[in-house]
Amino acid sequence: MDEAFTLKGTGCRSVYDVIRKYKSQLRGKPSEWVLPKGNGHGEVLLREVILKAQNKWDFPYKEEELCHCRMVPTEVVDRIVKLGTDHVEEVARKTTAGTGCGTCRPITEEIIKYRKGA
Ligand code: FES
Domain that holds residue 95: 65-115
Q: Which atom of ligand 1 is nearest to the CA of 105?
A: 2
Q: What is the mean pLDDT of the chain?
A: 90
Please work out whether the CB of residue 68 comes within 6 Å of at least one atom of ligand 1: yes
In a domain, 44, yes or no: yes
CATH of the domain at 102: 1.10.10.1100
Tell me if 93 is assigned to some domain. yes
Tens digit of each residue's pLDDT (9 = 90 or more) over 69-98:
999 999 999 999 999 999 999 999 999 999
The total number of structural domains in the chain stands at 2
Residue 4 lies in a domain: no
Question: What Å distances lie between residue 66 and 52, 75, 85, 87, 109, CA to CA?
Answer: 22, 8, 16, 16, 12
Same domain, 49 and 71: no
Distance (Å, rounded) from C-alpha 2 to C-alpha 109? 32
**Contact criterion met (CB below 8 Å) for 67 and 77:** yes
pTM of the model: 0.85
- Whole-angstrom distance, CA of residue 98 vs CA of residue 15: 29
**Relative to the CA of 97, which ligand 1 atom is closest?**
2
